[in-house]
Each structure stands twice: as C-alpha cells, then as structure tokens.
C-alpha cells in the first residue's frame, strides 16, 4: 500500500492538532460507541472511532460486521467546555481530559491505529499470532479468568481452542485469542 493511499484518507486528515482543543477519550456505555461518536460529530467535533471488520460463519453463511477496535472508547479533539454534555449523556460514562503533551501522544498513536485499520481492511489480521498450539497460557478474562490452560489449536485468526489444566478431566474451551496471556515459566 503506497503513501498516497494514506494521504487520501479523510480520517487521517482530521487526526491533527486543533487550536484551543486537545485530543482526549470518551468512555461510552456498553455498545454505545457509534451513537456517542455520531452525537459528538453532530456538534462539529473531530471524532475518531477505530473499527474492525469481524467475519463470522453460521450455518454456511458468512456475516460481516464492523465493531469498535477498542470497545468502550471514542476519541475526539475538543476543549473541556467544547461540547454539549446534554446531547451525549445518554451514551456517555466518562470523559478523560488529557494534558497537551498526552493529547499529542494520543493523536500520534491514533494516526498509527488508523493506518493499521486501513491495512487490516485489505489484509488478514491475526490476533496474538504468538499464541501457538502447545503453549501454556493464562486466561485473562471471562468466567475462567486466572485459570491455566494449554492451547490445543487455533480455530481462526481470532479464536483459540484451549484445554484447562486444573481439571482432572479434559475440558476444551473456545476463547478469543486476546483473552490468553502467555504463562511465564
């Protein structure tokens, strides 16, 4: 992918410094990221909501949907009093204001995230490629959080099949790869 592809991207075009505004992040209510981003955008606030396409297959049908890359987070460039809280409060949990140096770091990180987002739309993305069969892992989320397991196989680029080690019988689980952390010996 050449540099001109990135140059033509409208979202990369909004990821820059604004006078009297800093990049900050908003934490939305569960599954309200898109609504929060729309409501901020309606107030003429530069907003970025990184998205990934998820592909799922059920009953021999392929379903594609776009989901937030960072569930619960919406990024925007505004001043502390630069938005109408009444218009966004239904989908908002918290606003995290950043100092100018941290706002600058966030903006630069968001530019990298956007490039990754663009590349992932054309290339296959593998979540945690270092998680391989036979690897001991600790489950970091869900009902089995804190349990030790061994990776049996990868189901696809986002999902792994693991066997729990703590039970005296074989229990195979299908988990998102992002829920697995490599165990340290």
**Same domain as 46, residue 115:** yes
pLDDT at 121 over 60: yes
Domains in the chain, number? 2
> Which residues constitute the domain of residue 160?
136-182
36 inside domain:
yes
**CA pair distance 75, 68, nearest whole angstrom:** 12
Kindly report the CATH number assigned to the domain that includes residue 69: 3.30.70
pLDDT tens, residue by residue, 98-120 = 999 999 999 999 999 998 888 77
Give pLDDT, residue 169.
Answer: 63
Give pLDDT, residue 72.
Answer: 93
Closest CA to 55 of 156, 178, 184, 142: 156
107 inside domain:
yes
**Same domain as 105, residue 39:** yes
**CA pair distance 4, 17, nearest whole angstrom:** 21
pLDDT tens, residue by residue, 6-37 = 667 889 889 999 999 999 999 999 999 999 99
What's this model's pTM, rounded to 2 decimal places?
A: 0.69
Cα separations in angstroms, 142 against 30, 67, 180, 183: 16, 19, 11, 17
- For the segment 39-60, the average pLDDT, to the nearest whole number, is 88
Give pLDDT, residue 104.
Answer: 94
**Same domain as 102, residue 32:** yes
Kindly report the CATH number assigned to the domain that includes residue 161: 2.30.30.30
Lowest mean pLDDT among 15-24, 66-75, 77-86, 153-162: 153-162
- For the segment 53-74, the average pLDDT, to the nearest whole number, is 84
Higher pLDDT residue, 56 or 49? 49
- For the segment 54-62, the average pLDDT, to the nearest whole number, is 78
**Same domain as 149, residue 89:** no
Lowest mean pLDDT among 4-8, 43-47, 48-52, 154-158: 4-8
Cα angle 125, 131, 133 (rounded to 5 degrees) comes to 120
pLDDT at 3 over 70: no
């Amino acid at each position: 992918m050449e540099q001109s592809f990135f140059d033509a991207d409208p979202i990369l075009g909004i990821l820059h410094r604004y006078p009297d505004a800093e990049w900050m992040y908003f934490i939305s209510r569960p599954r309200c990221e898109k609504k929060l981003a729309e409501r901020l955008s309606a107030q003429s606030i530069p907003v970025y909501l990184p998205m990934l396409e998820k592909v799922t297959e059920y009953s021999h049908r392929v379903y594609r949907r776009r989901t937030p890359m960072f569930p619960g987070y919406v990024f925007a460039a505004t001043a502390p009093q630069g938005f109408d809280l009444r218009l966004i409060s239904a989908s908002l949990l918290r606003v995290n204001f950043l100092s100018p140096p941290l706002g600058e770091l966030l903006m630069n990180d968001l530019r990298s995230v956007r490039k990754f987002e663009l590349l992932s739309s054309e290339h296959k993305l593998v979540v945690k490629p270092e998680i391989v069969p036979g690897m001991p892992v600790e489950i970091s989320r869900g009902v089995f959080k804190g349990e030790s397991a061994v990776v049996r196989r990868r189901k696809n680029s986002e999902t792994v099949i693991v066997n729990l080690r703590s039970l005296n019988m074989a229990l195979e689980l299908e988990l998102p790869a992002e829920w697995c952390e490599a165990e340290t010996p």
